[in-house]
Amino acid sequence: MAGGVRHDEIFTLMHVLEEFRKLDPDLPIQYALSFLTLAQNEGMSMRELAERLGIAQSSASRNVAALSKWHSFGKPGLDLVQAEEDPRERRRKIISLTPKGHELIATLREMMQREPRHEPRRAKTA
């Protein structure tokens, strides 16, 4: 189906996005993109994350804070990633997934590998 919409792929993507909504119904897409980028490149620095996403380093830092155990102002975060000081360069923060972050990636991977399913067709109303 060249160029056409593959409903099974869209349906799978919707389920993946729904997993993020389970964490926080108002989760901004940039948090999800930050998390997925970090999952692909575990151990990258805050600066590298900002460069990869094309955002300011302050935005990357804010995204990582929200994905960490504690968000800004002492609010609980999502506990999906942790940022630790690089022992070789103390100003540099290295970001890795937490066990909860690895669990989410495993869930998403399983969803993507499942046999494609189609959303049940709704009856048309007159």
Give me the CATH topology for the region 7-113: Arc Repressor Mutant, subunit A (1.10.10)
Q: Quick one: DSSP state of residue 34?
A: H
Instruction: Note the pLDDT of residue 64.
Output: 96
Each residue of 13-55: pLDDT tens digit? 899 999 999 999 999 999 999 999 999 999 999 999 999 999 9
Cite the beta strand spans of the chain per DSSP E: 81-86, 89-97
DSSP reduced 3-state for 83:
strand
Predicted model pTM = 0.83
Please state, in angstroms and rounded to a whole number, the distance separating the CA atoms of residues 84 and 76: 18
Residue with structure tokens 């100003």?
91
Does the pLDDT at position 124 exceed 70?
A: no
Which pLDDT value is given to residue 22?
94
Q: How many CB atoms lie within 10 A of CB 73?
A: 6
Residue type, 14: M
**Where do the structural domains in the chain lie, given as residue ranges?**
7-113
